[in-house]
Amino acid sequence: MMKTKWDHFYKKTYQQRLDLIAKEVGLSADQLNKLGNDSTVSRNLIENFLTDYPLPEGVVTNLKVNGQEHLVPMVTEEPSVIAAASNGSKLLASGTGIKAEVLSHLIGGQIVIKDFPLAKLTQFVDQHRPELFAVANGSHPHILQYGGGAQKVGVRKLDEHFTSVDLAVDPGEAMGANTINTMLEAVAAWLQQKLAVTVTMAILTNFEAERIVQVNGTVPFSALETQSMSGETVAKRIADASRIAEIDHYRAATHNKGIMNGIDAAVIAFGNDWRAVESAAHSYAAKDGHYRGLSQWSVSATGLAGHLTIPMPIGYVGGATKVLPLAKINQQIAQVTNVREEMKVIAAVGLAQNLAALKALVTDGIQKGHMNLQLNSLAMANGATREELPVVVDRLKKMKQPDSTDVKQILRQLRR
């Protein structure tokens, strides 16, 4: 491979790395000082480590799941998300609270095989199931200790050339990505040895159709009432919003983004792989070939009923949960003691987040509620100090579409 000046960058000391970057892009001493922040944990977690990138962490209040209250830490840069999740949680707590259930808890993976007779492969897998499971479990013996292990195997034709051997594993309390990848590679090698198959790849799937959590909640009409709309009208309008996400993928993408605003933020706080959760959510949303909203809202006799079924590929132990110091503290703040509880709490946040977004959309519109926090961000991004913030935001509120120039002008006036 071609040589570049960045070869062996990873072997440099932390300070050498920073100095090289600073020289390359012309960072000032002040910028370098802001960037530099060595951490043994992070240096050992990723490659070419430069710094810990700080994101705000807040906490969702009033979330009640299966009768228990949870404070849920959320890491997000987006204003209004935590306020909205708390608001949605409060609405749901005013009804029956959220009922949550883990429907299945298996991680799946595939060994893709090229140009091998389907019938022969299917017959072999059917006849050697216990042996195949033993090869899988034997490659990762810890899994049995943690109460997990290989559970299912099947053969699926992809096209005239490719066949997938699908393995499903109970990952115990872990997310299971490393576990299943190790198992798949072991089973792939075993199949090569037994049948001389050509393996194209062996890898987990992020289509997590067997790691599913379901949450339900009802909000009484009285809790939905606004100054200008009855609670029943708001409920009917939210049900309409839900229907639109069923029939239109333009809206479904935004509807689901709202759900993921809450879910990702909690997944990050718990030190988990939010890209896996995102990928699982969106592929599940398109499982019938049409991309749809992940939640459904309908009007019942007693109020607005909400329902969310979503894959939740997270772990309570292992991976970054073990090394990121805040992940464990956040589990304690949320009072979750195992993976299933954590899955339920995160999905419940998704439902609450979605409810708050839909209620805002079908009543006041989204901008009104967002405005205060957005103005805060605008003011801070343009240099307003904590002391100056209230006055600046107050003045910005009176303007039509304030921007950075307005903030700078207000600050000049204030500082004169």
- Report if residue 377 touches ligand MEV, rule: CB under 6 A: no
Known catalytic membership, residue 78: yes
Closest contact distance (angstroms) between CB of 348 and ligand MEV is 17
Give the binding range for ligand MEV (CB under 6 A) out of 141-149, 215-223, 330-338, 356-364: 356-364
Contacts of 348 (CB under 8 A, 6+ apart): 63, 65, 70, 89, 92, 98, 100, 215, 217
Known catalytic membership, residue 38: no
DSSP state of 415: H
- Report if residue 261 touches ligand MEV, rule: CB under 6 A: yes
Give the binding range for ligand MEV (CB under 6 A) out of 9-17, 18-26, 250-258, 312-320: 250-258
Known catalytic membership, residue 157: no
- Kindly tell me which of 80 and 110 has the beta carbon lying closer to ligand MEV: 80
Q: How far apart are CA 224 and CA 187, in angstroms?
A: 54
Residues between 57 and 116 that touch ligand MEV (CB under 6 A): 78
Asked if 106 and 143 count as a contact pair (C-beta separation under 8 A), the reply is no
Q: How far apart are CA 94 and CA 82, in angstroms?
A: 18
Task: Tally DSSP H helices, then E strands, for the chain.
Answer: 18, 10
- Kindly tell me which of 282 and 395 has the beta carbon lying closer to ligand MEV: 282
- Report if residue 229 touches ligand MEV, rule: CB under 6 A: no
- Report if residue 357 touches ligand MEV, rule: CB under 6 A: yes
Known catalytic membership, residue 273: yes
Closest contact distance (angstroms) between CB of 234 and ligand MEV is 15
393 membership: H or E segment, kind and range: helix 389-397
Distance in angstroms between the alpha carbons of the first and the last residue of the chain? 60
Closest contact distance (angstroms) between CB of 252 and ligand MEV is 10
The neighbouring-strand residues paired with 212 are 311
Closest contact distance (angstroms) between CB of 354 and ligand MEV is 7
Which residue in 34, 114, 120, 257 is the catalytic one?
257
Dihedral pair phi/psi, residue 273, rounded to 5°: -85, 95
Closest contact distance (angstroms) between CB of 366 and ligand MEV is 5
User: Residue 278: is it exposed, middle or buried by C-beta count within 10 angstroms (0-12/13-18/19+)?
Assistant: middle
Contacts of 89 (CB under 8 A, 6+ apart): 60, 61, 62, 63, 64, 348, 349, 352
Which residue in 210, 273, 342, 406 is the catalytic one?
273
| Residues in contact with ligand MEV by the rule CB under 6 A | 78, 254-255, 257-258, 261, 357-358, 361, 366
Tell me which residues are annotated as active site: 78, 257, 273, 370
